[in-house]
Structure 1
Amino acid sequence: MMRFAPLTRDFYIPKGFVKVTDKASDAIVCVCTSAKDRPAAMAFHGKAQKPDWHHTFAGEAARDLKIHEHFEGRRRWAEWKAGTPRRAQETPRFRSRAYSLCLMGLRADQYRLLSGDESHRPPHGRGPRGQPDCRRYQQ
Structure 2
Amino acid sequence: MKVIKYIAEVEQLNLPSTVKKQLMTHILEPWSGDVHQAQEFWEEVSTRLILIEQSDTDHDLAEIDEELDILLCYAIANPEFVLLLNDESCPHLLALSVHTDEGSGCYVLGPMSSDTHPIRVLKEQAE
Shared fold (TM-score greater than 0.5)? no
What TM-score does the superposition give when structure 1 sets the normalisation length? 0.24
TM-score in terms of structure 2 length? 0.25
Larger RCO (alpha carbons 8 Å, 6+ apart) = 2
Higher strand share: 2
Larger radius of gyration: 1
